[in-house]
Structures are given as structure tokens and as C-alpha cells.
Amino acid sequence: MVQHASGLDPAANRARLRDLVPDDTDLVVLPEAFARDFGEPGSSVAAFAEPVDGPFATELATVAHDRRTTVVAGMFETSEDPARPYNTVLVRGASSAAYRKIHLYDSFGYLESDNLSPGAPLPVVVEVAGWRVGIMTCYDLRFPELGRALVDAGAEVLVVPAAWVAGPRKVDHWRTLARARAIENTVYVVAAGQPGPRYSGHSLVVDPLGDVLAEADEGPAHLQGTLTRSALETARSTNPSLANRRLS
């Protein structure tokens, strides 16, 4: 996980990818809106929206190829409404996908839907190094039904790029929700946030029984975690809640 802030210059953010993405790991997760920061609260990001084959996506794919890894990172994607692009997470590398954020951040005094369009409520799951990886974005973490939909689609890992705005209780909510999604679904959660002071930082890896394996502080950081299939299998044997569900 790369807990580094994006700036307001898309070209500068693209140029930093090559320095930030390592070559000794299967999966690299950068934060939400890494192609270009949100800017002032409530401001339009429409001028910085790109297609999923635009400059940011192209550079992301090139870096992923050169580093022999799969990279996840956030951008603003052009939509049918030119004034309200999608808040999109790209996956580039051995797998390729685009996930459009479903739940927009109309909360804690913000109205993300004023300037962004929601994606269709469809789970996006990709394969990375033999693992099934489901994609969520930031505020999505507060909606357990999305996590469960991803797991029902086969996800064993939930990856959550975020720009989790700082404030009272926000780090506690972030950690609690990440652990909850891991525990209730018996999956790994890999949550990568932008750093403080504007955002909360505290990127973390949670195992399928809810133990925090690695966590950053508020500032810029690289954080590494190792996921093992034996831990996933042990968790699902110890707590077979997915198998024990009764839906009717």
C-alpha cells in the first residue's frame, strides 16, 4: 500500500507513479483520487476527468508492466454527464478492470454527488496472483451489503483505496469498519488511504479473523503485508459464517 498524497497537477501525479510503485510484490494499492486530488471541498473535478484509456490509465499500465505487478489506483473518469464524472478505481497489470464508486460521500457535511456520478451497483472482482480481489472505494466501506456482494462474487480480499477525510472519530470509524468487513466476510481487507493532515492515513491490512497485520500512521508511508491462503482457510473453518447463512 502506497499512502502518499496526490496533488492538483495530474502530470506530476503520473510522473510519481514510477517512483512509488515497487517491483517486489504481487499487488500495489494506491489511494482514491490519485490521478488528481479532489481540490477544495465542493469544487468541480470535471476538467480533470479522463477516459479509462487516457493518460493516467496508460501510465499506470506501463508502470505495472515494467514493475511486473498489478496496480490499483483512483482517478476521475469521464461520464455521460460531462459535469459529473465517475470516481473510478483502475486495476492495471495481469488483470485489468475499472470500478466506479457506487456510494458517493454525501455525509459528514459533504455532497460528493453534486460533482460526481455514482456507478452501477455491480460488484467488480479480479484475479491477482491466484487470489480473487474485490474492489471498493472509501465511503463504500460503510455499506456491508457491498462487501457481501463482492464475497458472493468470489472475493477473498477486499481492496479499499480511500481519501478518508480527517476529523473526530474518523480514524476509529476507518479501523472499525475495515475490521468489521474482514470479520463478517472472513476475508482480508487491504485499505489504502491518502495521508494527513487533510485525510486520515492509517492504511492497514486486516486478516480474515479481524487482526490488524500492518497499519501506517497519519503521514506518508509504504506499507507491506503478506496474505496467506492458510490463514483464510483457518478463518473460514473456525468461523464458517458464510456457510451458516440462512437466506430464507
Where do the structural domains in the chain lie, given as residue ranges?
Answer: 2-237
Which of the residues are catalytic? 32, 101, 138
How far apart are the C-alpha atoms of 179 and 177, rounded to whole Å? 5
- Residue 209's pLDDT is 98
- Residue 163's pLDDT is 98
Backbone phi, then psi, for 98, in 5-degree steps? -135, 125
CATH topology of domain 2-237: Nitrilase/N-carbamoyl-D-aminoacid amidohydrolase (3.60.110)
pLDDT along the chain (248 residues), means of 10: 98 98 95 98 97 98 98 98 98 96 96 97 97 98 98 98 98 98 98 98 98 98 96 97 92
How far apart are the C-alpha atoms of 52 and 34, rounded to whole Å? 14
How far apart are the C-alpha atoms of 139 and 107, rounded to whole Å? 9
- Residue 247's pLDDT is 86
Nine cell digits for residue 121 = 451497483
| Residue range 205-215, pLDDT digits in tens | 999 999 999 99
| Residue range 132-191, pLDDT digits in tens | 999 999 999 999 999 999 999 999 999 999 999 999 999 999 999 999 999 999 999 999
177: number of Cβ within 10 Å:
20
